[in-house]
Amino acid sequence: MFVEYKNNREKEFKRIDNIKNGWKISLKYATILNDNIANDNISDTIYSIYGKFIRELKSNKLNKENKMKYMRCWKTLMDTNYKYKSLKNIKIAIKQLHYTSYINYTN
């Protein structure tokens, strides 16, 4: 029974660690976007940064499925960038992604 408990604890610790790492990577790329928010071509930059975000998740063998909150936050940003060509809306979405990534990584 003790071995089973230990295995469950290890699995849960690894799951939580993977989620934390996903948010850390999300914050890294959200910060890059937030730092470049004043650029007029930020809409184009989002696609490049998103690709880098996905590649880093893959290289760290982290979950890229839509069930992960950090992936849903990025999908919202991507949808906003695609649907609304207003820079104001896109910049608000970037700020929201950055804030959400920061809060979830630091907690």
Spatial CA neighbour of 34 closest among 98, 80, 103: 98
Domains identified in the chain, total number: 1
Question: Would you say residue 4 lies in a domain?
Answer: no
Are 43 and 80 in contact, with CB atoms under 8 Å apart? no
Question: Would you say residue 10 lies in a domain?
Answer: no
Name residues whose C-beta falls within 8 Å of residue 24's C-beta, 6 or more positions apart in sequence.
Answer: 105
pLDDT of residue 40: 86
Question: Would you say residue 16 lies in a domain?
Answer: no
Residue 41 and residue 72: Cα distance in Å, rounded? 23
Mean pLDDT, 10 residues at a time, the chain of 107 residues:
73 94 98 95 94 97 94 96 90 97 94
- Stated pTM of the model: 0.91
Question: Would you say residue 44 lies in a domain?
Answer: yes
pLDDT of residue 97: 98
Question: Would you say residue 36 lies in a domain?
Answer: yes
Question: Would you say residue 84 lies in a domain?
Answer: yes
pLDDT of residue 5: 65
Range of the domain at 44: 28-106
Give the burial class of 87: count Cβ atoms within 10 A of its Cβ; 0-12 exposed, 13-18 middle, 19 or more buried.
Answer: middle
Question: Would you say residue 80 lies in a domain?
Answer: yes
Residue 89 and residue 93: Cα distance in Å, rounded? 6
Question: Would you say residue 48 lies in a domain?
Answer: yes
pLDDT of residue 85: 76
pLDDT of residue 84: 82
